[in-house]
Amino acid sequence: MSLDRRSLFRAGGALAVAGTLPASAAVASAQQQQERVPAQAADLPTRNPLVEQRADPFVTTPVDGMYYLTGSVPEYDRVVVRGASTLDGLATARERTIWRRPASGRMGGYVWAPELHRVDGRWYVYFAAGDSDEPFRIRTYVLESDKADPREGGWVLKGQVVTAWDTFTLDATTFEHRGKRYFLWAQSEPGIATNSNLYIAEMATPLELGSAPVRIAVPTLPWEVQGFKVNEGPAVLIRNGRVFVTFSASATDARYCMGLLTADENANLLDARSWTKSPNPVFTTNDATRRYGPGHNSFTTVGDQDVLVYHARDYRDITGDPLFDPNRHTRVQKVHWNDDGTPSFGVPLGEGGPVVRLSPVDSPRLVVRHHDYRLRVDGDVRELGDSQFRLVDGFLGAGTTAVQSVNFPERYARVDGAALRVDPYEDSDAYGRTASFVRVAGLAGRDGVSLRLAADPARYVAHDGAGRLVLTAPGNDRGARERATFRLG
């Protein structure tokens, strides 16, 4: 049999090409794909992008069972909101314009990065806007609505949020912590030779500040000053005894990336010394997954899962000013947590189905990962992408499974002697036989899965207790069967 992966299965193998497989095999393949969705990932959208041409995306956490999304439109001329009962539903939800810039004068220029917040029973939209005759004279403004549903009419422009300096101001967000409400934003400060820094202040009301601004981040590191000296787009995630603030840096092309600030939850958030900036970016362009310039994010939740919402393009080269390239699309993926309680974002995901991590049932704190392209099990894997996989249609037809690397999508788990590697796809029978498995109920419990080599039904993928992932014939040995059983997370 001659194998052609790219013609048989595309983008994770969910669809069989018409005429390639008989109808019964195609149905079996589709059913198998459906069974592969782990329960904990079932409510996370796998469509990528979630919404096209919506940059600077902001998605609320569920409010009365509804998610609401807003973001920058390519025309930079209005504020839009859409809502749905699931994250995935936002993709096709009707979008409504709740405010449009005036034809001339103040706020008649570019409209950027709206955020939607529910505060004390009212909705507020914080957004940045320029003037018609000076579109880059950007300042922060606020809309208010007393309606239960932000898609309804009744929005009232309440004016500008006044800060200490009448300068370039954008990307405001707000959050509550320990009984106090804070305002967090980006601004150009007189006397500092940067495009924008990050500031925080306490709020007196949802419309005005109640304290002087405190500068908590200035772009100084090499990855923050590519093209422009920028810290912008802050987003807040309070978990594990800390206040985390992600932010975006550099120009809005493929150099755009995300950084991280951290403060102890008991610290004085209005003291700049409380904040520590991570030395390296936490989310960057990835050529292998074809995601460029990821950033300007927000956070939402699905059940007890934290979800990263961000924009990125699917191509690197841009004609003209990247700010006016329309194809920064809204994307979502799960936030993972390191053993020390810090967030791990991995790589911006490419197309495909659900993403999983595999943990052996006898060592649940370990996960399968690749290192130097060799598969092994490790604990506290900081390089999240190395431990993320997709279980896709295999190379030997219906009923078989391949294990695709997430951060190297052209590589699949493949038997190399008794061990396993992630190797680039080859259109050959030999590759198909060594990279195709049969997924079965876990040998040590049906809440797990086991992977049997399709070409040798006696041998299963297992860890050997010394960190290596190998092929074994576990037979009826209880310990061996546990080492060959994995839970999906």
Cα separation, 32 vs 14, in Å, equals 9
The active-site residue out of 88, 131, 224, 232 is: 232
* E strand or H helix at 23: helix 23-35
- The question of whether 56 is a catalytic residue gets the answer yes
Separation of alpha carbons 484 and 489, rounded Å: 16
State the pairing for strand pair 329-334/305-313.
Answer: antiparallel
Active site residue 77: no
Are 96 and 81 spatial neighbours (Cβ–Cβ below 8 Å)? yes
481: DSSP letter? H
Q: Is 346 exposed, middle or buried (0-12, 13-18, 19+ CB in 10 A)?
A: buried
Cα 94 to Cα 70, 73, 90, 117, distances in angstroms: 12, 15, 8, 20
Identity of residue 238:
I
HSE-CB for 258 with a 13 A CA cutoff? 31
Nearest-angstrom CA–CA distance, 198 and 216: 6
Alpha carbon 5 to its chain centroid, in Å, reads 28
| Catalytic-labelled residue, pool 56, 189, 325, 393 | 56
Token code pair at residue 284: 């960057």
Instruction: Give me 486's structure tokens.
Output: 């994995």
Residues designated catalytic = 56, 232
